[in-house]
Structure 1
Amino acid sequence: MGDVSEQIELCSLAAEFTEALARQQRLAERREAIVTRLHDEVERLRQGEMEAALDLVRHSLIRLHDQILRQAEHIDGPLGADELRALLTALADEAADTVARTGVERYVPRPGDAFDRTLQRPVDRVAAQSPEADRTVARVVAAGFVQGERVVRKADVVVCRWEPDAPPAASSPATPSSPADT
C-alpha cells in the first residue's frame, strides 16, 4: 500500500510542479509582452522627439530661405562693399539664430581675451605689443559654438605671442605659425 500512496504523492508533486512551471511560463510571456510594448513605446517617443527636433531645424531653415529670397528681391543694382557686408552679416546672424533654436549658442571671444584652448583654436599668431598681451586673442577668424558645457566648434582665433626680440606688432604683419606653437 505504501507504493501506491508514494506514487499518488509523486503524481501530485509532479502535477504541482507542472502547474508551477506553466504559471512561470505565463508570467515570462507577460513580461516579454510588457517589455516589447515598452520598447515599442520608447521607439515611438524617440521618433517623435527626433521629428520635433528636425521640425525645429526645418522651420528655421525655411525661414532663412525666405529671408534670403526677400533680401534678393530688394537688390536692384550692384551692391557696394558695405551693403554686401551688411547683407551677408544679417544672413549669418539669421543662420546663428537658427542654430540657437537647437540649443547651440554662438561664442565669439573679444580681442584681448586670454587664449583658452578649450574654447578656441589658434589659426595664426601675431607679435604681441607687450608681455601682458602674450597668449591673448588678437582677432577672431570664425565664431565658435557651444551647447552648455559642450563645445560644438571651437572659435578660430589669431593669438598674440610675446617675443622680446621681435618688432612691435603694429609694424609687422601676421606671421603664420603652427597652431602647436601657441
Structure 2
Amino acid sequence: MSDVSERVEPCALASEFTAALARQQELAERREDIVTRLHDEVERLRRGEMETALDLVRHSLIRLHDQILRQAEHVTAPLGVEELRALLTALADEAADTVARTGVERYVPGPGEAFDMVLQRPVGRVAAEGPEADRTVARVVAAGFVQGERVVRKADVVVSRWEPDAP
C-alpha cells in the first residue's frame, strides 16, 4: 500500500506544479497585454501632443501667410525704402511671434553689451573706440533664439576689438 501512496504523491505534486505553471503563464500574458495597451496609449498621446504643437505652428504660419497677402493687397505703387523696411520688419516680427508661440524667444543683444560666446556668434570685427569697448557687441547681424536656458540659434554679431597703437 505504501507503494501506491508514494506514486500518488508525485502525481499530485506534478499536477499542482502544472496548475501553478499555468496560472503563472496566464499572469504573464495579462501583464504583457497591459504593457502593450499602455505602450499603445503612450504612443497615441505622443502623436496627439505632436499634432497639438504642430497645429499651433500651422495656425501661426497660416496667419503670417494671410498677413503677407493683406499687405500685398495694399501695395499700389512702388514702395519707398522706409516703407519697404517697415513692411519687412513687421513680417519678421510676425515670424518671431510665430516662433515664440512654440516657446522659443528672440534674443537681440544690445550694442555695447559684452560679447557672450554662449549666446552670440562673431561674424565680423571692428576696431573699438577705447579699451572699455573691447569685446563688446558693435552691431547685431541676425537675432538669436533661445528656449529657456537652451540656445536654439546664437545671435550673429560684429564684435568690437581694442588694439592699442603699436609703439
Q: TM-score, normalised by structure 1?
A: 0.90
SS in 2 for 1:23: helix
Counterpart Cα distance in 2 of 1:103 and 1:84: 29
Cα distance between partner residues in 2 of 1:86 and 1:10: 93
Q: CA deviation at 1:3?
A: 2.3
Which residue number corresponds to residue 23 of structure 2? Answer: 23
Q: CA deviation at 1:71?
A: 0.2
CA–CA distance in structure 1, aligned partners of residues 154 and 6 of structure 2: 81
- In structure 2, the residue matched to 1:180 is none
Q: Which residue of 1 aligns with 2:98?
A: 98
- 2:48 maps to amino acid: G
Aligned pair 1:128/2:151, yes or no? Answer: no
1:155, CA displacement in angstroms?
0.1
The equivalent residue for 1:37 is 37
Q: Deviations over 1:90-127 (max 9, x none)?
A: 00000000000000000000000000000000000101
2:8 corresponds in structure 1 to 8
Partner of 1:148: 148
Which 5+ residue runs of structure 2 have no aligned equivalent?
Answer: none
- Residue 66 (structure 1) aligned with residue 66 (structure 2): yes
The secondary structure found in structure 2 opposite 1:118 is coil
- Aligned identity (percent) is 86
Deviation readout 1:19-56 (Å, 9 max, x if unpaired):
11000000000000000000010011001001001100
Letter in 2 for 1:32: E
Letter in 2 for 1:9: E
What does the per-residue CA deviation read over 1:50-100, in whole Å, with 9 as the maximum and x for residues that have no partner? Answer: 100110000000000000000000000000000000000000000000000
Report the Cα distance in structure 1 between the residues aligned to 2:114 and 2:10, rounded to whole angstroms: 84
Could you say which residue in structure 1 is the equivalent of 2:107? 107
Gaps of 5+ in 1: 167-182
Aligned match of 2:55: 55
What code does the residue aligned with 1:140 have?
V
SS of match in other structure, 1:63: helix
- Structure 2 residue 139 is matched with structure 1 residue 139: yes
Aligned mates of 2:3, 2:89 — CA distance in 1: 98
Q: How many residues of Structure 1 are paired with residues of Structure 2 in the alignment? A: 166
State the distance in 1 between where 2:119 and 2:9 align. Answer: 78
**Which consecutive aligned stretches of 4+ in structure 1 deviate over 4 angstroms post-superposition?**
none
Q: When the two structures are superposed, what TM-score results if normalisation uses the length of structure 2? A: 0.98
| Distance (whole Å) between structure 2 residues aligned to residue 2 and residue 55 of structure 1 | 79
- Partner of 1:145, secondary structure, is strand
RMSD, matched Cα: 0.8
C-alpha separation in 2, matches of 1:2 and 1:123: 97
SS of residue matched to 2:55: helix
